[in-house]
């Protein structure tokens, strides 16, 4: 029997739970989930929500007599998004924070780093980040397109260890149970291959966009990066009671590695380095002995012309001691090297963070 073990989760909630009638938000299926979020947070766990439902929530406010055009759907999203956020906020005493993203934001290195920093800061300040696609600007070419995959990207950028997809079905079945009465629930998946993808039909409900295929795609992205993925039935309060007790009520997609190990492998072997940061003895000791982040004060020189978010080698006396993602580009680092972090804004006119390489993005070699 698998036990649920997690510390930082992204919880994806589908339109079918937010707006079960296809228009207007409802508390009906969210109370049990809100309780799960509150209790989990009280026990020290971190949660980021990825919430669908803006189009469904705004549907009744945009009167149409035909199939909705893209602009009409974008208008529905603009109206529904604020309702969806307000609907969430009424369950919690802590602040809900709206984060609207497009695929373009996730592809752009600088924006990716900014998203990551913002999510980290929101969690540090005890807020509940609620992510959705920025539907009013995301035309087809710029779209992630469905919130299951957006949930996976969010889990990756937030370095979560778990993605929980709350749907209107108990988990992954051997076939779409709405069409095949003999379909049975699959409680765990160790390896996502073509045979798993073949089990999924198309989009399930009229308000949802993804169906089971996009949930498998999301699980595929996450598990290969060390993030376990669970599909549960968010319509059943019992699903959340079970998870609070450490059980897994739906389908568990096992992670191929621990997130730390997967990230270490990715940082060490997959990422191409674009430059070098040379550090002094104090910075080396901080990194190696204390597992600290790299501050500008310990930097002695810069090599190469790397951008923010690119991988660099960190060297002490010409030896590579670590590899990590730079939070400032080479040009700006030349200006702040050797300086105390509190002077970054004075020198550059802006400050993204007070560290140059965060310890989460750093691997010792
Ligand atoms: N093999 C399968 N197992 C479970 N559900 C499936 C399967 N294939 C297709 N589906 C459909 O996927 C639906 C869930 O997707 P969707 O309606 O997009 O939900 P959500 O709004 O939660 O994202 C189910 O209701 C079901 O009809
Ligand atoms: N951004 C869209 C999400 C659409 C979507 O993926 O819906 P779902 O399949 O219910 O998760 C919205 O808020 O309506």
pLDDT for position 207: 47
Residue 340 corresponds to which tokens in the numbers above?
Answer: 């105390």
Does 185 contact ligand 1 (Cβ within 6 A)? no
Distance CA 40, CA 43 (A): 5
Q: Both 290 and 218 in a single domain?
A: no
pLDDT for position 55: 92
Q: Is 1 contained in some domain?
A: no
Residue 6 has pLDDT above 70, yes or no: yes
Nearest ligand to the C-alpha of residue 150? Answer: 2
Q: Which of 259, 287, 312 is the last residue of a domain?
A: 259
Higher pLDDT, 352 or 85: 85
Q: Both 155 and 195 in a single domain?
A: yes
Residues 14, 55 contacting (CB under 8 angstroms): no
The DSSP secondary-structure symbol of 140 reads G
CATH of the domain at 318: 2.30.130.10
pLDDT for position 209: 57
* Those residues with Cβ within 8 angstroms of residue 71's Cβ, 6 or more apart along the chain or in another chain: none
Q: Is 266 contained in some domain?
A: no
Residue 263 Cα to ligand 1 middle (Å):
30
- The whole-model pTM stands at 0.84
Does 175 contact ligand 1 (Cβ within 6 A)? yes
Q: Is 3 contained in some domain?
A: no
Residue 358 corresponds to which tokens in the numbers above?
Answer: 């965060």
Residue 15 Cα to ligand 2 middle (Å):
6
Q: Both 193 and 282 in a single domain?
A: no
Residue 346 corresponds to which tokens in the numbers above?
Answer: 């004075």
What is the rounded average pLDDT of the residues 131-142?
A: 84
Q: Both 89 and 218 in a single domain?
A: yes
Q: What angle (nearest 5°) sits at the alpha carbon of residue 157, between those of residues 82 and 159?
A: 115
What is the rounded average pLDDT of the residues 234-247?
A: 97
Distance CA 252, CA 328 (A): 38
Residues 254, 223 contacting (CB under 8 angstroms): yes
Tens-digit pLDDT profile for residues 55-72: 999 988 888 877 888 889
Q: Supply φ then ψ for residue 55, to 5 degrees.
A: -65, -45
Q: Is 328 contained in some domain?
A: yes
Which atom of ligand 2 sits closest to the CA of residue 150?
A: 6
Strands 162-167, 128-133: pairing kind: unpaired
Q: Is 82 contained in some domain?
A: yes
pLDDT for position 202: 54
Domain that residue 326 falls in: 271-364
pLDDT band at residue 262 under the 50/70/90 scheme = confident
Q: Which of 228, 259, 290 is the last residue of a domain?
A: 259
* Those residues with Cβ within 8 angstroms of residue 211's Cβ, 6 or more apart along the chain or in another chain: 200, 201, 202, 203, 204
Residue among 44, 134, 126 at smallest CA distance from 98? 134
Nearest ligand to the C-alpha of residue 57? Answer: 2
Q: Both 35 and 162 in a single domain?
A: yes
pLDDT for position 338: 96
Tens-digit pLDDT profile for residues 282-307: 999 999 999 999 999 999 999 999 99
Does 162 contact ligand 1 (Cβ within 6 A)? no
The residue whose CB lies within 8 Å of the most ligand 1 atoms, and thus the one to mutate among 169, 206, 217, is 169
Residue among 303, 284, 273, 149 at smallest CA distance from 213? 149
Which atom of ligand 2 sits closest to the CA of residue 146?
A: 6
284-288: long-range contacts at Cβ-Cβ below 8 A with a sequence spacing of 24 or more? 284/316, 284/321, 287/314, 287/321, 287/322, 287/362, 287/364, 288/321, 288/322, 288/364
Alpha carbon nearest to ligand 2 atom 2, residue: 52
Total domains, the chain: 2
Mean confidence (pLDDT) of the chain: 92
Tens-digit pLDDT profile for residues 339-354: 999 999 999 999 888 9
Q: Both 244 and 313 in a single domain?
A: no
Taken in order 123, 125, 126, 132, is the CA torsion positive or negative?
A: negative
Q: Is 300 contained in some domain?
A: yes
Q: Is 264 contained in some domain?
A: no
Q: Both 217 and 357 in a single domain?
A: no
Q: Both 246 and 293 in a single domain?
A: no
Residue 148 Cα to ligand 2 middle (Å):
8
Residues 53, 80 contacting (CB under 8 angstroms): yes
Residue among 217, 81, 97, 222 at smallest CA distance from 157? 222
What is the rounded average pLDDT of the residues 108-123?
A: 91
Please, is 202 exposed, middle or buried when counting C-beta atoms within 10 Å of its C-beta (0-12, 13-18, 19+)?
Answer: exposed
The complex scores an ipTM of 0.95
Q: Which of 216, 231, 259 is the last residue of a domain?
A: 259
Q: Is 176 contained in some domain?
A: yes
Q: Both 283 and 334 in a single domain?
A: yes
pLDDT for position 286: 97
- Residue list, annotated binding site: 12, 52, 135, 147, 167-168, 209-215
Q: Both 141 and 175 in a single domain?
A: yes
Q: Both 250 and 300 in a single domain?
A: no
pLDDT for position 354: 92
Percent of the chain at pLDDT exceeding 90: 76
Distance CA 135, CA 177 (A): 30
Tens-digit pLDDT profile for residues 199-210: 986 554 444 456
CATH of the domain at 217: 3.40.1160.10
* Those residues with Cβ within 8 angstroms of residue 27's Cβ, 6 or more apart along the chain or in another chain: 87, 90, 91
Residue 119 has pLDDT above 80, yes or no: yes
Q: Both 44 and 141 in a single domain?
A: yes
pLDDT for position 141: 66
């Amino acid at each position: 029997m698998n036990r649920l073990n997690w510390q930082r989760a992204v919880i994806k909630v589908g339109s079918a739970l937010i707006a079960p009638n296809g228009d207007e938000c409802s508390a009906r299926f969210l109370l049990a989930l809100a309780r799960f979020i509150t209790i989990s947070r009280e026990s020290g766990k971190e949660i980021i929500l990825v919430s669908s439902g803006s189009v469904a929530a705004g549907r009744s406010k945009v009167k149409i007599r035909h199939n909705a055009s893209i602009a009409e759907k974008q208008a529905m999203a603009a109206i529904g998004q604020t309702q969806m956020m307000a609907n969430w906020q009424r369950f919690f005493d802590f602040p809900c924070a709206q984060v609207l993203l497009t695929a373009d934001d996730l592809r752009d290195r600088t924006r990716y780093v900014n998203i990551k920093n913002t999510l980290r800061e929101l969690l540090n300040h005890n807020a509940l980040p609620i992510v959705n696609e920025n539907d009013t600007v995301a035309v087809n070419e710029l779209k992630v397109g469905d919130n299951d995959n957006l949930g996976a990207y969010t889990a990756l950028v937030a370095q979560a260890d778990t993605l929980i997809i709350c749907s209107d079905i108990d988990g992954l079945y051997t076939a779409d149970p709405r069409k095949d009465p003999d379909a049975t629930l699959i409680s765990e998946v160790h390896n996502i291959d073509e045979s798993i993808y073949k089990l999924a039909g198309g989009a399930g409900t009229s308000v949802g966009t993804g169906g089971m295929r996009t949930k498998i795609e999301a699980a595929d992205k996450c598990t290969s990066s060390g993030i376990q993925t669970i599909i549960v039935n968010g319509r059943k309060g019992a699903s959340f009671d079970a998870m609070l007790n450490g059980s897994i009520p739906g389908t568990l997609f096992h992670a191929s590695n621990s997130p730390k190990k997967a990230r270490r492998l990715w940082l060490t072997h997959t990422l191409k380095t674009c430059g070098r940061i040379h550090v002094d003895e104090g910075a080396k000791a901080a990194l190696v002995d204390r597992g600290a982040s790299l501050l500008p004060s310990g930097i002695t020189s810069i090599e190469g012309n790397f951008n923010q978010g690119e991988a660099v080698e960190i060297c002490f006396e010409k030896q590579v001691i670590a590899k990590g993602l730079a939070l400032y580009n080479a040009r700006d680092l030349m200006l702040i090297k050797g300086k105390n972090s509190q002077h970054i804004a004075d020198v550059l006119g802006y400050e993204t963070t007070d560290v140059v390489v965060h310890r989460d993005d750093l691997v010792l070699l």
